[in-house]
Amino acid sequence: MGKTITEKILDKHIVEGTPEKGEEIKIKIDQTLTQDATGTMAYLEFEAIGIPRVKTELSVSYVDHNTLQTDFKNPDDHIYLQSVAARYGLYFSRPGNGICHQIHLERFARPGKTLLGSDSHTPTAGGIGSLAIGAGGLNVAAAMAGEPFALKYPKIVGVKLNGKLPPWVSAKDIILELLRRVDVKGGVGKVFEYFGPGVKTLSIPERATITNMGTETGATTSIFPSDEVTRGFLKAQGREEQWIELKSDGEEYYDEIIEINLDELEPLAALPHSPGNVKPVADIEGMEVQQVAIGSCTNSSLRDMKVVAQILKGKTVAPNLSLLINPGSRQVVAHLVETGEYKYLVDAGARILENACGPCIGMGGAPPSGSVSIRTYNRNFEGRSGTKDAKVLLVSPETAAATAINGVLTDPRKLGKPVEIVMPDRFIINDNMIILPLPPEEAEKVKVVRGPNIKPLPEFPPLVEKLKGEVLIKVGDNITTDHIMPAGAKILPLRSNIPEISKYVFSRVDEKFYERAMEKKGGFVIGGENYGQGSSREHAAIAPKYLGVKAVIAKSFARIHSENLINFGIVPLVFSDVKDYDRIEQGDKLEVDVSSLENGEATLKDVTKGFSIKLKHNLSEMDIAILREGGKLPFIKKNIGGR
């Protein structure tokens, strides 16, 4: 029987389980990546497991999120990460080298390989034919220790691309069109696999833009074929020997088909405050804009930067706004300098930032209060930019550059004749900002350096059969990890200090949450649909656990956050009847009986109001075992530590 690309890679990597839709499988992980906002905790967890050296084919530690150094915390943690990489056999990408997903695509990602990353946009590598999945740091730590990664065998949705993109329409508009159709939870439990005649018209960076932002649908991952375009990209990166052909055996093997006619697309924009709130730029153009930001892991490739440079050539940024540009890597910058296109950006008045995530994660570049910020990034959640009342729209590089020139949101088709760019036959390759793994005998001599901000991991007790406490907070639908555990320049430097970072849990939703949680000695969180969408940051689970959160009861969960809750011993439970959500309020005293988790259920008693309801869950046997043990770290240490 024929197979899809996804099935071919999964089936080759399965070490446990049956390849049937919805069934749990465990797969071998070939590569891992981390970044510094999530990686510091991941390596503390890896050290706690007790494995002397990473067991993957390749693991890379990147520094790209917390590069704003306002005090000792970030630079101290970067030294910790570098020393950990040297001690345990990882590649280390130094601060300033670039954004993890862009560099991994350029230098490490391989067709047919599995990649697990402690960043939700790890699926970027799907643009090159890698089965790349985002996960919490503890899952990545376990993979580095040689443990397989558990997931539900996904449904495979074939996205058939027909035709060719019109002038001024780009890959960002393709993924925005998909988001317009399926919204932010339409990909849950699915993999989006692209095929069709339109695929060959897209370069690898364009494909990576699409797989990167497929994350916003809630999908497990997204992937493209590995074809002659892939081979050409790898050849230009000096890695042609790593190419293999990967293609589906036929569209009849997909569980579902979505067709997108590229020649019918137009420039699109995601309006505040959701990547799924998509409308044509032509319908909303003319909107006053105070900031334009171009870059992030979604649109910082050489292709995108060249397009922007050519649009800005000989022009000046409109006086009513500020233009920020963060290129994806040093390789991108080197090419822009070589061709003179870097000068076009400078002469136009762009503020060119470091090769890092920057404003996307709230690290500088916050827009003015009450302003409109047009960004080529992947998320526009309320407050994520660093300015709570800013309105962020997500667009293509073409739309962003046209807007920067005109001062108002502009359909790039108004610019007339499309710009032309010339891509190099061979990329400039300079890996001097990547430190190679040390041989084992040298690595054993390395001392891991810990700054004063790095605190020991908290210890969590085993799960008891009856959970008691108050409802600490009740929230609505599509609560993001930014709502639960905000990012930004003030909070992210505390990522290796759980007692301190826990003070900011739900701080953008309810400033008194921390005090209430401490006073009540923990309790419960009640959530709506798609609770925990967004970033993979496990701090949105471990910090609430530190505050005593025992269970989150919601209408539904985002995949990665549900995994993180399990990993840290918080029980994710779902209302059997969603109407029961309306019956429970903040302050209600609850008793939740989890003694019957093995039977697929739990019982909630609202002591305050005197009623009981049934709850359900989607936990596997291993998930339940992890919860019973108190979390994945004690589970691993009990079962495989030091193996």
**Terminal CA-CA length for the chain:** 38
Q: Single out the residue in 234, 264, 294 at which a domain terminates.
A: 264
Out of 335, 379, 559, 561, which one is annotated catalytic?
379
pLDDT for 640 equals 63
pLDDT for 641 equals 45
Count of domains observed in the chain:
3
* Cross-sheet strand order for the sheet of 256-261: 221-223, 190-195, 155-162, 256-261
What 3-state class would DSSP assign to 517? helix
449 in any annotated domain = no
| 208 and 310 inside one domain | no
| Residue whose tokens read 């909303």 | 284
Q: Single out the residue in 415, 436, 453 at which a domain terminates.
A: 415
| 36 and 152 inside one domain | yes
| 365 and 475 inside one domain | no
616 beta partners: 574, 601
Out of 537, 539, 561, 617, which one is annotated catalytic?
537
**Torsional sign, CA 467, 472, 521, 73:** positive
For residue 53, indicate whether it is catalytic. Answer: no
426 in any annotated domain = no
Count Cβ atoms within 10 A of the Cβ of residue 48 and give its class: 0-12 exposed, 13-18 middle, 19 or more buried.
middle
Out of 30, 36, 61, 64, which one is annotated catalytic?
64
pLDDT for 642 equals 43
The torsion angle over the Cα atoms of residues 10, 16, 152 and 551, rounded to 10 degrees, is -140
CATH number at residue 398: 3.30.499.10
Q: Single out the residue in 415, 436, 452 at which a domain terminates.
A: 415
Residues 6+ apart with CB under 8 A from 217: 178, 179, 182, 183, 184, 185, 186, 187, 188, 192, 276
| 292 and 251 inside one domain | no
| 128 and 14 inside one domain | yes
Amino acid at 476: G
What pTM value is reported for the model? 0.93
Question: CA angle at residue 363 from 568 to 342, to 5 degrees?
Answer: 130
177 in any annotated domain = yes
CA-wise closest residue to 117 among 169, 59, 197, 191: 59
pLDDT for 626 equals 94
CA-wise closest residue to 307 among 341, 356, 357, 268: 341
| 147 and 178 inside one domain | yes
436 in any annotated domain = no
| 251 and 122 inside one domain | yes
The CB-side HSE value for 590 (13 A sphere, CA atoms) comes to 31
For residue 537, indicate whether it is catalytic. Answer: yes
| 188 and 326 inside one domain | no
pLDDT along the chain (643 residues), means of 10: 96 95 95 94 93 97 90 92 98 97 98 96 98 95 96 97 98 98 93 98 98 96 98 98 98 97 98 95 96 96 98 98 97 97 98 92 90 95 89 98 98 96 96 97 96 85 96 96 89 90 95 96 96 90 96 95 95 97 97 95 97 95 94 84 44
For residue 303, indicate whether it is catalytic. Answer: no
Residue 245: domain span: 5-264
CATH number at residue 541: 3.20.19.10
38 in any annotated domain = yes
What 3-state class would DSSP assign to 191? strand
CA-wise closest residue to 413 among 393, 399, 400: 399
447 in any annotated domain = no
| 280 and 260 inside one domain | no
| 37 and 113 inside one domain | yes
| 629 and 517 inside one domain | yes
What is the rounded distance in angstroms from the CA atom of residue 18 to the CA atom of residue 249? 21
pLDDT for 457 equals 82
Out of 13, 65, 101, 384, which one is annotated catalytic?
65
286 in any annotated domain = yes
Pair 418, 167: CB distance under 8 Å: yes
Out of 36, 119, 183, 588, which one is annotated catalytic?
119
Out of 535, 536, 556, 562, which one is annotated catalytic?
535
Q: What is the DSSP letter of 378?
A: S
For residue 495, indicate whether it is catalytic. Answer: no
| 232 and 314 inside one domain | no
156 in any annotated domain = yes
